[in-house]
Structure 1
Amino acid sequence: MTRLTFVRGDITEAPVDAVVNAANSSLLGGGGVDGAIHRKGGTEILAACRDLRASRYGRGLPTGQAVATTAGRLPARWVIHTVGPVWQPDEDRSGLLASCYRESLRVADELGAATIAFPAISTGVYGWPIDDGARIAVQTVRATPTSVTEVRFTLFSEVAYEAFVTYE
Structure 2
Amino acid sequence: MASFFIRREVLERIFGKRWGLAFENQQQTLATVSEASSLAVSATQALKDAAFVTLSSNAELPNERVLQLGDGLEAVISSDTVLIRLSEDGARASGGFKVTFIATGESTVAVPLSGILATRENVETLTNKTLSAPSLSGLVNATSDANAASAGVPVGGVYRDGSSLKVRVA
Flag whether TM exceeds 0.5 (same fold). no
Q: What's the TM-score once normalised by structure 1's chain length?
A: 0.18
Q: What's the TM-score once normalised by structure 2's chain length?
A: 0.17
Higher relative contact order (CA 8 A, sep 6+): 1
Bigger share in helix: 1
